[in-house]
Structure 1
Amino acid sequence: MIPTEQLDHTGPLWRWTGGANSGTWHFLTIDGAAGEALSGTAVMRKLEGTARGFGSLKVRARIGETHFATSVFPSKSDGGWLLPVKASVRRAEGLAEGDEVEVSLEY
């Protein structure tokens, strides 16, 4: 079993619009030292044969008082990792595009 790691990160919430269904998604980019820590874990899981599709990592996230399970995805264009922040989390925490968001991740 892989031990659980934890990290904290702060960054701006941003919106992506597009795709086949013209959907709108909100993300937090996990970069810098936090992104490097996630990348190291992804490499280890690949070597262990436990890597997930698209290079994603399952995480447990906390923003404010809201806890949720999701996955982070490597960002080829920006570097770092993308954490999707769904509408229910944004509503619960009163978040909007451009807000600085503090997140704690367990992975």
Structure 2
Amino acid sequence: MTAPDPPLLEFAFEAEVIHWRGPSPFFFAPLPAREADEVRRVSRAVTYGWGVIPVEAQVGGVAFTTSLFPKDDGYLLPLKDAVRRKAGVTAGDTIAVGMIIRPPRR
């Protein structure tokens, strides 16, 4: 098995969990402006379409993979129910997030 590629970006931030009540309700952690700017800088190299960015993230000791969604000049980190349950977080909680963006595998 080969080692993963080194990260293009690696950072940590705090965010308040929001509950989006759209047609498919979901929980997200909005990226702060500074981190969103950094993601935007590498977005063309890593997006797989529609502006979504694959990431490795960690919340409350729970590691997971997902994709950032672009929203209003920023990005939202989706928090699946399984991740939220393990980490014990819900809407309104402030969470610490660690995140890695790697170059796409070719």
TM-score using structure 2 length:
0.83
The Cα RMSD (Å) is: 1.4
Percentage of pairs with the same residue? 27
Residue correspondences, number: 96
Question: 1:16-58: CA deviations, max 9, x gaps?
Answer: 1122xxx310001012211111010114x1xxxx531111111
- Paired residues for 1:78-97 under 5 Å: 79-97=73-91
1:54 equivalent in alignment to 2:50: yes
SS across alignment from 1:26? strand
Runs of 4+ in 1 over 4 A off after TM superposition: none
What is aligned with 1:39?
Answer: 40
**CA contact 2:57–2:65 (8 Å) conserved in 1:** yes
1:103 equivalent in alignment to 2:97: yes
1:10 equivalent in alignment to 2:31: no
Distance 1:31 1:37 in 2: 10
For structure 1, the residue ranges without an aligned partner over 5 or more in a row are none
TM-aligned CA deviation for residue 3 of structure 1: 4.3
SS across alignment from 1:92? helix
What is aligned with 1:67?
Answer: 63
Question: 1:53-74: CA deviations, max 9, x gaps?
Answer: 1111110000121000000011
SS across alignment from 2:26? strand
TM-aligned CA deviation for residue 99 of structure 1: 0.2
Answer 1 or 2: which has greater helix percent: 1
TM-aligned CA deviation for residue 93 of structure 1: 1.1
Distance 2:90 2:40 in 1: 27
SS across alignment from 2:21? strand
- One-letter identity of the residue aligned with 1:57: I
